[in-house]
């Protein structure tokens, strides 16, 4: 069976996407090749998923239908240098769809690195690991509708997908790309708050997690605005409004808004490194 799906970089996000695509039989393990420098990581991916692995990035350029770039943005130039001579030697068509999940790196840079290739810039997030991801995609100038459909199908396998103009991709990165970390910090802090007022750690953690999960599900299923839900919980002169007042005093909303902005600005910076 020939390789149809290749990835450069076999880290956290590569594994998240790969594991779902395999679980849904989108690709068979024998059709997948991951290029990854660390021997231990290669061995792990190979034994866990039954895929093919290599430490030679150039091997990913064989006639695949999709090539995913899943390295750190800071590694892009090095990887492209490594590939350039091989790219020049390849016949011009058919080119694989290049899917980049690199934070910040603009289509312009990717299209220079992969001349005339159809490129889609994507920003998934870690809940992709369990199929609850949120991915935004922005197609490049050489993509046709088949490429966009394929990119959408791949990311639908790991959760929800929206298509946005490329100019919004750094904003997406600041919100849904980095967001899982912000939410995780909030859940941890809620647990800590519970422990501070006397709950055993395990119970506090369970309460915090299920509260966030249940609230999210309620908002999603009811279509209620978050402010409306907050109003429903806050009894006049009650406990919740006392807590909300403290959140406002501590600048909780502002802290979250600033976190998204800082991540957005860092994404912009990463694109220029």
Ligand X SMILES: O=C(O)[C@@H]1CCC=N1
**Smallest distance from ligand X to CB 60, Å:** 22
**Residue 83: partners with Cβ closer than 8 Å, 6 or more residues away:** 57, 58, 61, 113
Separation of alpha carbons 37 and 226, rounded Å = 45
Name which of 230 and 266 has its Cβ closer to ligand X: 266
Separation of alpha carbons 134 and 130, rounded Å = 11
- Answer yes or no: are the C-beta atoms of 154 and 99 closer than 8 Å: yes
10 in a labelled binding site: yes
> Does position 271 bind ligand X by CB under 6 A?
no
The option from ligand NDP, ligand X, none interacting with 70 (CB < 5 to 8 A, set by class) reads: ligand NDP
Separation of alpha carbons 106 and 12, rounded Å = 21
Separation of alpha carbons 79 and 247, rounded Å = 45
Among 22, 33, 101, 175, interactor with ligand NDP by CB under 6 A: 101
**Smallest distance from ligand NDP to CB 184, Å:** 11
- Count other Cβ atoms within 10 Å, centred on residue 227: 8
- DSSP character at residue 95: P
Separation of alpha carbons 44 and 42, rounded Å = 5
> Does position 159 bind ligand X by CB under 6 A?
no
The single residue listed with the structure tokens 């350029």 is 61
> Does position 194 bind ligand X by CB under 6 A?
no
The closest alpha carbon to 190, from 209, 175, 218, belongs to: 209
119 in a labelled binding site: no
- 239-250 vs 252-270: helix crossing angle, rounded to 10: 40
**Smallest distance from ligand X to CB 177, Å:** 3
Stretch that binds ligand NDP, among 30-38, 58-66, 191-199, 228-236 (CB under 6 A): 30-38
**Smallest distance from ligand NDP to CB 126, Å:** 4
162-191 binders of ligand X (CB under 6 A): 173, 177-178
> Does position 135 bind ligand X by CB under 6 A?
no
Cα atoms found within 13 Å of the Cα of residue 133, Cβ hemisphere only: 30
> Does position 174 bind ligand NDP by CB under 6 A?
no
The option from ligand NDP, ligand X, none interacting with 32 (CB < 5 to 8 A, set by class) reads: none
> Does position 177 bind ligand NDP by CB under 6 A?
yes
Where do contacts with ligand NDP occur on this chain (CB under 6 A)?
Answer: 8-14, 35-38, 41, 57, 70-73, 75, 78-79, 101-103, 123-126, 177
Where do contacts with ligand X occur on this chain (CB under 6 A)?
Answer: 103, 173, 177-178
């Amino acid at each position: 069976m020939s390789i149809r799906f290749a990835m450069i970089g076999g880290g956290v996000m590569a594994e998240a996407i790969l594991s779902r695509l395999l679980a849904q039989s989108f690709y068979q393990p024998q059709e997948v090749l991951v290029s990854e420098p660390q021997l231990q990581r290669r061995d792990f991916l190979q034994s866990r998923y039954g895929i093919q692995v290599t430490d030679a990035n150039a091997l990913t350029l064989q006639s695949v239908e999709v090539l995913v770039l899943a390295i750190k943005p800071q590694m892009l130039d090095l990887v492209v240098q490594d590939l350039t001579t091989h790219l020049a030697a390849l016949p011009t068509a058919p080119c694989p769809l290049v899917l980049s999940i690199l934070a910040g790196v603009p289509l312009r840079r990717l299209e220079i690195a992969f001349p005339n290739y159809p490129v889609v810039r994507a920003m998934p997030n870690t809940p992709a690991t369990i199929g609850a991801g949120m991915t935004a995609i922005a197609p490049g100038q050489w993509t046709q509708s088949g490429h966009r459909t394929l990119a959408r199908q791949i990311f639908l396998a790991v959760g929800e997908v929206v298509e946005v103009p490329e100019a919004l991709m750094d904003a997406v990165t600041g919100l849904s790309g980095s967001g899982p970390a912000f939410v995780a910090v909030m859940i941890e802090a809620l647990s800590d708050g519970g422990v501070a007022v006397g709950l055993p750690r395990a119970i506090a953690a369970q309460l915090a997690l299920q509260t966030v999960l249940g609230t999210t599900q309620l908002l999603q299923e009811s279509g209620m605005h978050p402010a409306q839900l907050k109003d429903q919980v806050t009894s006049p002169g009650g406990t919740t409004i006392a807590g909300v007042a403290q959140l406002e005093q501590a600048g909780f909303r502002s802290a979250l808004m600033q976190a998204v902005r800082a991540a957005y600005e860092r994404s912009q910076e990463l694109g220029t490194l």
